[in-house]
Amino acid sequence: MSSYDDTTQPIQRPAAPSPASSSPKVSAPRSPKARRPLGCLLLTFLLGVLVGAVGLAVFAVWFLGGDRPPVTQTPANRKDAIVVQFNYPFLSQILTKNIDAAASELPGQVSNAQVSYQQNNQFAITGDDQITIFGFQTTKHFTLVMQPYVQDCKVQVRMIHADMGGIPATNFAADFEGKVNTYLQVDPARLLPGFTYCATGASADENGIKVSYSAKSLS
């Protein structure tokens, strides 16, 4: 018998996949505790936005403010002892001459102040206000609408409406009333002594602001 070398190699069968490798990997569900920080941040953000919006609304209502209702007024009576009329060009000159003191309550540099008739026994003061914010200059046109009236024998004005560049600012500019009041005060006793004078009515029309005074003899 002849001998020969057996070169036959054993057939290698692929190993059966293990249960761990055959099953797909499933990530464990995120616990509720892991989602809480994101929810808390979102809730904090929404609360911050809400508080900011409410604060801005309160600021706009109380500090800036909307229109104020007019007061009951008595128009100037031509039959009274004296009737004083303030022409609008003259009032514009007074404001221009005393603009720093008159507009001290307004921010920035005020220029081009003009006084004109509005409507419904009211007059308007308009002008430009140059404001510097973070080194940048911007100019806003302002409008102040006022109503003349009489209180305690003196002529007064009431701020009805104010806006800066279209933004209501009536409460902010309300102190401007006192400045205008000083320019409208007239003492007839300096011209005609011997009488006690009392302002009885005030009104505004196309020609100017009229104030009537009664007179009572001291003797």
Instruction: Read off the CATH number of the domain in which 93 is found.
Output: 3.15.10
- Claim to verify: residue 48 and residue 81 sit in the same structural domain: no
Q: Is residue 197 part of a domain?
A: yes
Residue 50 lies in a domain: yes
Task: Name which of 194, 198, 195, 193 is nearest 212 in CA terms.
Answer: 198
pLDDT value of residue 217: 92
Q: Determine, yes or no, domain membership for 91.
A: yes
Reported confidence tier of residue 78, pLDDT bands at 50, 70, 90: confident
Are 101 and 62 members of one domain?
no
- Residue 92 corresponds to which tokens in the numbers above? 């514009």
Co-location of 83 and 117 in the same domain = yes
Considering the domain architecture, whether residues 115 and 185 belong to the same structural domain is answered as yes
Within-domain flag for 30: no
pLDDT at 104: 59
Tens of pLDDT, residue by residue over 163-205, are 888 888 777 666 778 888 888 888 888 878 999 999 999 999 9
Closest CA to 88 of 207, 211, 212, 210: 207
Could you tell me the residue range of the domain that residue 199 belongs to? 68-217
What pLDDT score does 100 carry? 63
42 and 138 share one domain: no
Across 61-80, average pLDDT: 76
Confidence at residue 169, expressed as pLDDT on a 0 to 100 scale: 78
Q: Is residue 55 part of a domain?
A: yes
The answer on pLDDT for 137 being more than 90 is no
> Do 132 and 209 fall into the same domain?
yes
At 86, the pLDDT band (50, 70, 90 cuts) reads very high
pLDDT exceeds 50 at position 61: no
Q: Are residues 59 and 145 in the same domain?
A: no
- Same-domain pairing of 76 and 60: no
Tally of domains in the chain: 2
User: Averaging pLDDT over each range in 13-22, 60-69, 210-219, which range is the top one?
Assistant: 210-219
Q: Is residue 206 part of a domain?
A: yes
